[in-house]
Structures are given as C-alpha cells and as structure tokens.
C-alpha cells in the first residue's frame, strides 16, 4: 500500500512538473524567447514522443534561432524511428525552404506526396500540414491524390477554402458544388461560405462564376440543390423573377416547395417587386389544395393591390370574402379590409361594421385582441378617443405581459398624446421604454422624448398641443391639413425645441404626398439648425433613403449614409447605414 502511495505521489508530481514546464515553454515561445523555449520543448518532446505539437514548437524554435541543421537532424531521427510517418518529410522540406534551398525542399515534398500512394490515409494529414506551412498548391495535390485513391475520402471543402485563399474563386465554387453533389447536407454550410464572396451585383465576376459553375453542374447531373442555389443567388441579386423560375422548377418536382415559393413572394413584396410577388401568390392559388395557403396568398394579393393602386378596390376584398365566406378562417382578410377602408379609402364607418362582425366570429382571445386593437385604431381615426381607449385597455388587462398587451399600452399612450393628456401618456411610455418588443420600445422612447422636451413650462406655450394635433391629422391621412398645422408651429415657435420636431414630421408627410423636394428641404434645415441635434442622424438616414428609393440617386444616398457612418457613429442607424452604403458601393455584403 505504501509503495502504491509513493508511486501515485511521484506520478502526480511528475504530471504537475510537466504541465508547469509546458506553460513556461509556451510563454517563452509567445514572447519570442526561442532559445529558452527550445530547452524546455526538447525535454517535453523527449518525454512525450507522440505529441506532435511539442515537436512542431521545438522545430520552429530551432528555425527561429537559425539552428536549421539541428531541426533537420531531429526530424530525420524521428522519421528513422517511425518510417510510416512520411508526413515528417513536409517539415524537413519546409526547413530547407526557410534556408532558400528550393530544390532540396521540393525533393522532400515530392517524396511525401508519393508516399500517399501506399497509404492514402496520410493525404488528409499532409494536406493540413502543407496548409499550415502556406504551401497551398502542395496541399491541393495531397488532398486530391487522397480522394483519387480512396473513394470515401472527401476533402472538397478544404480544397475549396484553399482556392479561396489563392483568389481562384471559380475553382473554389466548383469544389463547394462537388461537396454538395456528394452530400446535400452541406448545402446550408456552403451557402454560408459562398455568401462571403458574392454580392447583390449580378454583373460581378464572382456572381457570374458561381452561376456558371451551378449551370454546368445542373446540365451534367440535375438536382434540386442546384435550383435551390440558383434561386438563392438570384434573390441575393434582387432578381426575383429569375428566382421564381427556379422555384417553379422545384415545385414541379416536389409540391412541398410551395413553402419556398411563398417565402419568395414575401421577399419580393418587401423589396417592392410587386409584379413578381403577385405572380408567386397567383401561382400558389393555382397549385395548392390547402385552404390556409390559399387564404394567405389571397391576403398578400390584396396587400399588393392596396400598395400599388390608387383606385377604390374595395370590391376585391368583398370578392375574396364572398368566395371563402365571412367566417373564422377569413379573419385576417377581414382585418385587412377594415384597415384598407379606414386608412386608404377614408371609410371608417364601414370598417367598424366589418370589425364588429369579425369580433362576433372570433373564438381565440388573441385574435379577439387583434380585432380590438384594429377597432381602437379606427376609432382614433374618427376622433372617438374614449371608446378607443376602452378597447386598448381591455387588451392590456386580458393579455398581461403578452406583446399584444405592450402594443395596446403604446396605443393608450399615443391616443392620450393625441388627446393632449401628456401626463398619462408619459406614465405609459415610461413603462414601455423597457419593453421586450424592440420596435415598441423605440417608438415609446421617441414619443416620450417629444413630450418631455416640449412640455409647457411655467404656463408658457411650447407648441406641444398644436404638434399633437398635427400628428393626429397625419395619422388620419389629412395630409394637407397636417402640413398647414406644422407650418403654423414653425412660424409661431421658431427657434424653440419643437421646431426641428415639426420639420421632421412635416417632411414625413411631404414624403407620403411624394413632394420629395420639400421633404429634402426640411431635412436639410434640421441638419443646419443644430448639428448636434437629436434628429440630425434621423434626417441623414431619411435623406439617404429618399435619394436611394424615391429619387434613384445612389451617389447622393451614399453621401448621407457616409455622414451617419463618420459623423454619427453612435447612431441607431449605423449598422443599416453601413450595410446600405456598402451595397451601393458594390461591396460583398453578408
């Protein structure tokens, strides 16, 4: 027993000693004290002959102190003892390379590559060692030879990465595609890596090289994966029509791809390609047999009409409701119809009838809450604030801590603000500033600051009451009256806090009216009134968006995105501004 205890004590002491030596050697190595490090690594490698890390560190120490012969002797000694470890030839060759003895280095590399013939399993090890020493062509040769000799070997990923390092992107894409051809489970991973090299520019060399590699492969060996990747590429390039062609091909082979057609329709809609979005949803209507999918497609088709048409298209909503029935299944369409009637057609009376009918059909407390929120919005539109507040408060009470409850609280605050009850509005907004729903939290902070910064002090008018009236008119789509009310504020309260707020909100109304020059004029004034004002970054961002999306002047848009990037680095718009600026410049954006 005593002997066993002594043995264990010795073993533990030795282990602790080795670990201390290893840490000390690593510290010397990192600090560039290679001579001291080599002395420790010599002992560590001798006591741990199968630890390749100690060997690599020791050889590097010798090389850094110009002891190349010592390094070669140590490696040859290891190889003599273990002839199967032919990968050591790579380190011997690299030792010659560091001495500019290229011919001797090549000889060792060639022997290493040749040894793969008798032992293909060495190919992966050698490939990694060549990569570590930045011998990329030899690494490709080692991996490729291993794959030729062993049918289950798969080093396409490594080879693709090497070609990426070399800047040979066409070959990189070909090997990534080969990897998917062997195993489609790699598809999402390959997408992630490829996305680093392609952009939203369909004319870029990398985009074309990737498309070319996919088309070549799809001709030789048709697979769904190639259509999926082509669709993904076209979506990146914002060529939604071309993506739709690929999605239709996928659906024709497998009806389950109806989901990706729907997703494409949503993306096209969000990116203002209403034509392609419409084609996607019409395709779904034609092909699907499921009522839920049909209704979702119908709803998006109605949204597209509301977004793109200035005519009275109420009959289209009625046509859809007649087709599927005014029932629980069509509640979403009934909500959309009420929204359309109120905010597009200024017919809140009819909207209330639609919503009251929907309320009687709902059996879900969450859907009922949505209907009550919409009914409250319509009542605010008509100026019936107290009844609207009643509906919002009911949602708050019935769905505590739910996102719909937080939305209802914000609507209570907003309605109180419109009424001029700023004290109650602030108390609600204070709670919402820490909302888990980021969009609501941001809106709450914005409205809280407007009230706090512009509340009347010592009974001196500040313009806040008039400002709330103007905001209500804008909410009610009474744009001409809203613009006029903002003008009165600008005349009466020039130089006061509320001036830039009125200019900014008026600019938003000008934008709704497509009076872009006036919107731009307001925003530029805000940036000159006070360069450090809280609305300056908001103004820069809105200016950039107007030039990018409405006026189609990418150069001016870039100018204002840059102002946020360089002049307002703490802005909440920084991430989006940087991304959009890079897109306009033609950079690869992930």
Q: What is the dihedral of CA 206, 212, 215, 221, to 10 degrees?
A: -100
**Mean pLDDT over residues 243-255, rounded?**
96
**Mean pLDDT over residues 269-282, rounded?**
95
Contact residues for 64 (Cβ-Cβ < 8 A; gap 6+): 32, 34
**Mean pLDDT over residues 225-238, rounded?**
95
Identify which of 133, 187, 126, 196 has the alpha carbon closest to the alpha carbon of residue 161: 196
Is the pLDDT assigned to residue 436 strictly greater than 80? no
Q: Answer whether residue 141 is part of any domain.
A: no
Task: Indicate if the alpha-carbon torsion angle 219, 225, 228, 234 is positive or negative.
Answer: negative
Gap between the Cα atoms of 306 and 320, Å rounded: 14
Q: Count structural domains, the chain.
A: 1
CB 490 within 8 A of CB 459: no
Q: For residue 563, give its domain range.
A: 531-590
Integer CA distances (angstroms), 462 to 451, 504, 532, in order: 10, 17, 21
What pLDDT band is residue 114 in, cutting at 50, 70 and 90?
A: very high
Gap between the Cα atoms of 489 and 505, Å rounded: 12
Tally of CB atoms within 10 A around 318: 12
Q: Answer whether residue 540 is part of any domain.
A: yes
Q: Answer whether residue 507 is part of any domain.
A: no
Q: Strand, helix or coil at 195?
A: coil
Q: Strand, helix or coil at 460?
A: strand
Q: Report pLDDT digits (tens) over 370-382.
A: 999 999 999 999 9
**Mean pLDDT over residues 201-213, rounded?**
93
CB 361 within 8 A of CB 327: yes
What pLDDT band is residue 539 in, cutting at 50, 70 and 90?
A: very high
Q: Report pLDDT digits (tens) over 469-527.
A: 999 999 999 999 999 999 999 999 988 889 999 999 999 999 999 999 999 999 999 99
Please give the pLDDT value at position 488: 96
Strand (E) or helix (H) holding 307 = helix 291-308
- As a whole-number percent, the residues of the chain with pLDDT over 90 amount to 74
**Mean pLDDT over residues 21-30, rounded?**
87
**Mean pLDDT over residues 137-161, rounded?**
93
Sequence-distant contacts of 30-37: CB under 8 A, at least 24 apart: 32/64, 34/60, 34/61, 34/64, 34/65, 35/61, 35/65, 37/61
Please give the pLDDT value at position 340: 95
**Mean pLDDT over residues 97-117, rounded?**
95
Please give the pLDDT value at position 352: 97
Q: Answer whether residue 562 is part of any domain.
A: yes
According to DSSP H, which parts of 150-239 are helical?
156-166, 169-182, 187-194, 205-220, 224-236
* Tokens found for residue 579: 């991304």
Taking each helix axis as running N to C, give the angle between helix 88-97 and helix 68-81, from 0 to 180 degrees, rounded to the nearest 10: 160
Strand partners, 460: 457
Gap between the Cα atoms of 106 and 201, Å rounded: 42
Please give the pLDDT value at position 6: 43
Instruction: List strand residue ranges (DSSP E) for 100-228, in order.
Output: none
CB 515 within 8 A of CB 480: no
**Mean pLDDT over residues 33-59, rounded?**
88
Q: Answer whether residue 174 is part of any domain.
A: no
Please give the pLDDT value at position 590: 53
Q: Answer whether residue 535 is part of any domain.
A: yes
Is the pLDDT assigned to residue 61 strictly greater than 90? yes
CB 238 within 8 A of CB 589: no
Please give the pLDDT value at position 257: 95
Gap between the Cα atoms of 183 and 176, Å rounded: 11
CB 193 within 8 A of CB 578: no
* Tokens found for residue 565: 């990037």
Q: Answer whether residue 171 is part of any domain.
A: no
Least confident of 5-19, 96-110, 197-211, 510-524: 5-19
- Mean pLDDT score across all residues of the chain: 91
Q: Give φ, ψ of 209 to 5 degrees.
A: -65, -40
Q: Answer whether residue 522 is part of any domain.
A: no
Overall pTM > 0.85: no
* Tokens found for residue 364: 């879900």
Q: Report pLDDT digits (tens) over 167-197.
A: 999 999 999 999 999 999 999 999 999 999 9
Please give the pLDDT value at position 531: 81
């Amino acid at each position: 027993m005593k002997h066993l205890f002594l043995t264990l004590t010795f073993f533990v002491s030795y282990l602790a000693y080795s670990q201390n030596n290893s840490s000390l050697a690593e510290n010397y190595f990192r600090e560039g004290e290679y001579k001291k490090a080599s002395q420790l690594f010599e002992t560590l490698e001798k006591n741990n002959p199968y630890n390749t890390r100690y060997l690599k560190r020791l050889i590097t120490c010798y090389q850094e102190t110009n002891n190349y012969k010592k390094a070669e002797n140590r490696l040859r000694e290891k190889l003599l003892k273990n002839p199967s470890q032919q990968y050591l030839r790579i380190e011997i060759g690299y030792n010659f390379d560091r001495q500019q003895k290229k011919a001797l280095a090549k000889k060792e590399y060639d022997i290493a590559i040749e040894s793969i013939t008798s032992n293909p399993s060495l190919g992966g090890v050698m490939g990694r060692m060549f990569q570590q020493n930045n011998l990329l062509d030899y690494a490709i040769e080692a991996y490729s030879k291993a794959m030729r000799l062993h049918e289950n070997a798969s080093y396409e990923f490594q080879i693709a990465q090497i070609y990426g390092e070399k800047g040979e992107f066409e070959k990189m894409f070909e090997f990534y595609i080969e990897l998917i051809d062997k195993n489609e489970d790699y598809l999402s991973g390959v997408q992630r890596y490829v996305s680093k090299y392609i952009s939203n520019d369909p004319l870029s060399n990398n985009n074309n090289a990737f498309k070319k590699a996919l088309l070549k492969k799809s001709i030789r060996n048709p697979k769904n994966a190639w259509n999926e990747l082509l669709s993904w590429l076209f979506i990146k390039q914002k060529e939604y029509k071309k993506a739709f062609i690929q999605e239709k091909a996928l659906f024709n082979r497998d009806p389950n791809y109806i989901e990706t057609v729907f997703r494409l329709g949503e993306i096209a809609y969000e990116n203002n390609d209403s034509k392609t979005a419409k084609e996607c949803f019409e395709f779904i209507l034609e092909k699907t047999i499921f009522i839920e999918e049909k209704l979702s497609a119908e709803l998006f088709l109605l949204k597209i009409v509301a977004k793109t048409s200035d005519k009275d298209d109420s009959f289209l909503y009625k046509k859809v409701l007649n087709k599927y029935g005014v029932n629980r299944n069509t509640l979403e369409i009934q909500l959309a119809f009420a929204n359309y009637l109120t905010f597009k057609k200024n017919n809140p009376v009819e909207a209330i009838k639609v919503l009251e009918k929907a309320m009687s059909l709902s059996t879900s407390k969450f859907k009922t809450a949505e209907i009550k929120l919409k009914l409250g919005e319509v009542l605010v539109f008509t100026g019936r604030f107290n009844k609207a507040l009643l509906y919002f408060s009911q949602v708050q009470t019935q769905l505590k801590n739910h996102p719909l409850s937080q939305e209802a609280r914000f609507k209570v605050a907003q309605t109180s603000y419109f009424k001029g009850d700023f004290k109650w509005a602030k108390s609600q907004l204070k709670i919402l500033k820490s909302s888990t729903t980021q969009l609501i939290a941001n809106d709450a902070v914005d409205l809280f600051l407007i009230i706090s910064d512009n509340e009347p002090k010592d009974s001196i008018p500040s313009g806040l009451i008039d400002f709330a009236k103007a905001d209500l008119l804008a909410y009610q789509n009474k744009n001409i009256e809203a613009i006029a009310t903002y003008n009165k504020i600008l005349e009466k309260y020039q130089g006061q806090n509320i001036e830039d707020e009125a200019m900014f909100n008026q600019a938003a109304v000008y934008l709704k009216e497509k009076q872009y020059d006036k919107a731009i004029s307001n925003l530029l004034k805000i940036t000159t009134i006070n360069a450090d004002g809280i609305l300056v970054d908001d103004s820069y961002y809105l200016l950039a968006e107007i030039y990018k999306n409405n006026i189609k002047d990418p150069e001016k848009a870039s100018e204002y995105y840059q102002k946020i990037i360089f002049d307002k680095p703490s802005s909440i718009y920084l991430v989006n501004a940087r991304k959009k600026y890079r897109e306009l410049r033609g950079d690869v954006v992930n």
